[in-house]
């Protein structure tokens, strides 16, 4: 692979944040310590720890956490000897107060996340994060829902607010490799800061998409050990590292140790295998936020529906992250419609 950037690739492991969706936000402090300790020993660059929906996400709407996320962040920081603990913040869910508390506990990096067309709501949080001395990155979610020109416009806004990198975030796992190539290339040619990529594996192309992103110059890359992330999971960290090693790209993370984390620590924690089933496949097919899967499955049981019908309808309505309350509304409407037809 001939990369279009000579900057080192930095990997953020997201299983303790994106994976929180799969765990129904029930991570224990012991689990976080064990995973963090092993990842740090393997040489992971960044380890993201927070509620699946970011700081402040422990609510009835998004799902209550078993343990306060600040305790989990503090525990992760205590276990890290070289890795940086990262957090995610969605303006409107997380607050500046949450950010300051995470920083006081030792979090060193924050990704400020907005819908791909709403970067303007990130200005205050990016500015405060920079004032706090944190590495501060922009995270444009549901990147498949906007044309490339709009993506560039929004990324430039985040750059102007002080973001040190901006991610193309494939929250639905709906992007195909050519679409990733087009988006990463456009950002790299339009920004003076680093470009990142966060993939989901709902269409089984997360590793391929990540390789394309790296080829086009992305230097900030996300992965989840054992695919522990929303939907079918993210770019599988240990697989990505093996592929990069085969390609002669050394990112400074021990492959064997990462494999061991996946096999011996994260694997036994999984509530179910992280595979592409009909639900996660429909997420990518319909372009629906990956964290909606568990909510849709619960709604389908409540209303006696096929969860695929709920997800397809959510896709038709262009429902985005933060609109989880609409899942029950859509399910109720579909159930009523089925009764009328019957």
Q: What is the pLDDT of residues 82-134, one digit of tens each?
A: 999 999 999 999 999 999 999 999 999 999 999 999 999 999 999 999 999 99
Q: How far, in Å, CA of 115 to CA of 121, rounded?
A: 9
pLDDT digits (tens, 9 = 90+) for 253-299: 999 999 999 999 999 999 999 999 998 999 999 999 888 888 899 99
- Does 20 fall in a domain? yes
Residues 124 and 231 in one domain: yes
Of 21, 25, 51, 125, the active-site residue reads: 21
Specify whether 75 is located in the same domain as 217: yes
Residues 170 and 94 reside in one and the same domain: yes
Q: Give the domain CATH number at 313.
A: 1.10.8.60
Of 21-30, 206-215, 283-292, the one with minimum mean pLDDT is 283-292
Domain tally for the chain? Answer: 2
Residue 183 annotated as binding? no
- 243 and 169 together in one domain: yes
Contacts of residue 256, Cβ cutoff 8 Å, sequence gap at least 6:
none
Residue 284 lies in a domain: no
Residues 241 and 299 in one domain: no
* Same domain flag for 193 and 309: no
Residues 316 and 245 in one domain: no
User: Tell me, what DSSP letter sits at residue 84?
Assistant: E
Residue 72's pLDDT band, with cuts at 50, 70 and 90, is very high
Q: Which domain holds residue 313?
A: 291-341
User: 25 among the known binding-site residues?
Assistant: no
91: CATH: 3.20.20.70
Q: Domain for residue 280, yes or no?
A: no
144 noted as active-site residue: no
Question: Mean pLDDT for the chain?
Answer: 95
Has 40 been labeled as part of a binding site? no
CA nearest 334: which of 307, 294, 295? 307
Consult the annotation and say whether 45 binds a ligand.
Answer: no
Assigned domain for 278 exists = no
d(C-alpha 279, C-alpha 306), whole Å: 9
Asked if residue 169 is part of any domain, the answer here is yes
Q: What is the pLDDT of residue 267?
A: 96
């Amino acid at each position: 692979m001939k990369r279009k950037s000579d900057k080192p690739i930095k990997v953020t492991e997201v299983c303790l944040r994106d994976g929180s969706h799969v765990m129904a936000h029930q991570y224990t402090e012991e689990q976080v310590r064990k995973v963090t300790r092993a990842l740090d020993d393997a040489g992971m660059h960044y380890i993201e720890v927070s509620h699946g929906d970011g700081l402040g996400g422990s609510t009835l709407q998004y799902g209550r956490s078993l343990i306060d996320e600040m305790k989990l962040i503090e525990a992760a920081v205590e276990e890290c000897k070289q890795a940086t603990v990262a957090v995610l913040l969605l303006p409107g869910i997380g607050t500046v107060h949450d950010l300051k508390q995470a920083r006081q506990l030792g979090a060193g990096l924050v990704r400020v996340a907005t819908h791909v067309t709403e970067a303007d709501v990130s200005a205050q949080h990016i500015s405060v994060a920079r004032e706090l001395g944190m590495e501060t990155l922009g995270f444009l979610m549901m990147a498949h829902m906007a044309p490339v020109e709009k993506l560039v416009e929004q990324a430039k806004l985040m750059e102007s607010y002080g973001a040190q990198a901006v991610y193309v975030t494939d929250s639905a796992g709906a992007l195909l490799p050519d679409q990733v190539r087009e988006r990463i290339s456009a950002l790299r040619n339009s920004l003076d800061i680093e470009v990142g990529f966060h993939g989901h594996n709902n269409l089984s192309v997360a590793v391929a998409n990540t390789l394309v992103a790296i080829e086009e110059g992305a230097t900030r890359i996300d992965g989840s050990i054992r695919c522990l992330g929303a939907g079918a999971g993210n770019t599988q960290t240990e697989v990505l590292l093996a592929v990069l090693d085969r390609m002669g790209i050394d990112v400074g993370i021990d492959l064997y140790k990462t494999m061991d984390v996946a096999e011996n620590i994260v694997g036994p924690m999984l509530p179910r295998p992280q595979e592409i089933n009909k639900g996660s496949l429909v997420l990518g097919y319909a372009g629906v936020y990956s964290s909606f899967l568990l909510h849709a499955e619960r709604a389908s049981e409540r209303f006696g529906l096929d969860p695929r019908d709920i997800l397809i309808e959510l896709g038709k309505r262009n429902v985005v992250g933060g609109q989880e309350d609409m899942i029950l509304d859509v399910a109720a409407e579909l159930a009523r419609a089925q009764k009328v037809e019957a």
